[in-house]
Structure 1
């Protein structure tokens, strides 16, 4: 029986040079590596993000693919991309999911683990999740 599994590693980073704290603009980049750890090739079709700032403001973002791609990953293959988000507070969180379709037509979701966006921390290991 085929397995449908992806591993998601996230590495967020605060971008002070693009941020304007006095105006309430905090810009973050995040690099994500998606690895097919299952036994069947699958294509990432779409994504859903849940973005929360420290004031409790919630934003849901949906879209096709990631950074213009809908990668097809064979077992053991990875796809890495960098994207970004901005908050009105210096800290917040993001989490979400990828919608994928396997080679055999099976549809499944892959959880993107929650990670912290933190403009105040000097220690990036405190923000990294996988």
Structure 2
């Protein structure tokens, strides 16, 4: 499970290929990813924005950014976690994602970026 910690905030990722929502004949491969964000810092933090880079093995790179995650801007007290599930589609069945979250320390209003570790998206039969 890819995991990284930035300024006391740990981000871990797990992924799943979703064959029921995919159509390989039409070059449409759908993946879900679960993100776990844990605040191990001494500060209360709020997730303000996300910024993703999605790389398809065919060479396409997409950039996605916006407020919060799945419609929320979670606030995490020290020791708390937030989990969410989202997804993306690829044309080739293989790719990777990585990015950052923009966070705010609520005590002093300081903004900082938290790295989202790079993770692979791969159709299981391509692993053989």
Give the TM-score, by structure 2 length.
0.90
Structure 2 equivalent of residue 8 of structure 1: 11
1:68-87 equivalences in 2 (<5 Å): 68-87=71-90
Does residue 58 in structure 1 map to residue 61 in structure 2? yes
Q: 1:108 aligns with which of 107, 112, 118?
A: 112
Structure 1 equivalent of residue 124 of structure 2: 120
SS in 2 for 1:105: coil
Give the whole-Å Cα distance in 1 for the aligned partners of 2:28 and 2:49.
27
Structure 2 equivalent of residue 127 of structure 1: none
CA RMSD of aligned residues (A): 1.5
Give the TM-score, by structure 1 length.
0.89
Higher strand share: 2
Count of aligned residue pairs for this structure pair: 121
Change in CA separation of 1:121 and 1:80 when aligned onto 2, cut-off 3 Å:
farther
Encode CA deviations 1:20-55: one digit per residue, 9 max, x unaligned.
000000000000010001110010000000000111
Question: C-alpha displacement at 1:120, in angstroms?
Answer: 2.9
